[in-house]
Amino acid sequence: MACKNVAMFGRGQGVPGRRWGRVALGGVVAAALCLFAVRPVIGDMLNSEPDPAPVVVAATHPATSAQVADARGLPGTGLAAGASASTTRKSKSGRNTRVIRTVYRRVKINSRITDQEILTEEGKGTFVGIKCPKGSKAISGGVLSKYINLLVSSSAPNHPLTRKYTPNIWWLTVVNVNVDGNGGTLPWLGVVNCLSPVKLGSG
């Protein structure tokens, strides 16, 4: 309402031309200031970054099927892949002809879980990297925890701060948001799905 009043100011009759010009210019400036004052602000520049876990890239061991099933944000592992393989045959005319065949093989996925629990304080965030064995690619990750106060804020093969892509490391960031009023530091475990290289079959 104050901004509207400023915009209406100076519209009275009997104001000399030069004075009216100054008043009109002042009204335009005031209206512009009002627009800037009420525009939405994205971010308050006070948002904090997550802290790294004591061991940034955690040690892992094979996860059980039950642990994988309970992990939040982790998709199923029943995948199949198709790949094209080409062979060369000789036709009756003696010319070489290329025959393309699609060979389906079930993709091999190994799931791993962190050896130690990661602790996240109330109102803070923690990130950790979960590394796949050499020769495997990290394709998905999730969090194993029984607490509703832990929120997965990011899950990707990119470092949460530098955004650097790491093909065999999956990065998880968890925030302790305390939605039920019961504060305190809470533990969680990270789980990763690792994809082994796809090999073409000959059949």
**DSSP string covering 90-102, please?**
E-TTS-EEEEEEE
My answer on whether 57 and 7 are in the same domain is no
Domain shared by 123 and 165, yes or no: yes
State the DSSP string of 65-95: HHHHHH-BT------EEEEEEEEEEE-TTS-
pLDDT tens-digit readout, 83-131: 444 455 555 666 666 666 665 556 688 999 999 999 999 999 999 999 9
In a domain, 81, yes or no: no
Tell me the pTM.
0.62
* Same-domain check for residues 6 and 72: no
Asked if residue 111 lies in contact with residue 162, where contact means CB atoms within 8 angstroms, the answer is no
| Residue 57 shares a structural domain with residue 152 | yes
Residues 166 and 133 in one domain: yes
Distance CA 107, CA 77 (A): 9
Task: Return the structure tokens found at 136.
Answer: 């495997």
28: enclosing H helix or E strand: helix 17-38
Same domain for 174 and 135? yes
Query: Quick one: pLDDT at residue 106?
Result: 62
Structural domain boundaries, residue 139: 51-76+109-195
Banded model confidence at residue 181, pLDDT cuts 50, 70, 90: confident
Q: Tell me the pLDDT tens digit for each residue of 125-155.
A: 999 999 999 889 999 999 999 999 999 999 9
Is 91 part of a structural domain of the chain? no
* Residue 160 to residue 155: CA distance in whole angstroms: 9
What's the CA gap between 121 and 58, in Å, rounded?
Answer: 18
Same domain, 33 and 55: no
For position 73, what pLDDT does the model report?
75
Tokens 């200031």: give the residue. 33
| pLDDT one-digit tens code per residue, 1-56 | 545 454 444 444 554 556 656 656 666 666 655 555 544 544 454 577 898 998 99
What backbone phi and psi angles, to 5 degrees, belong to 174? -125, 135
Q: Are 177 and 50 in contact (CB under 8 A)?
A: no
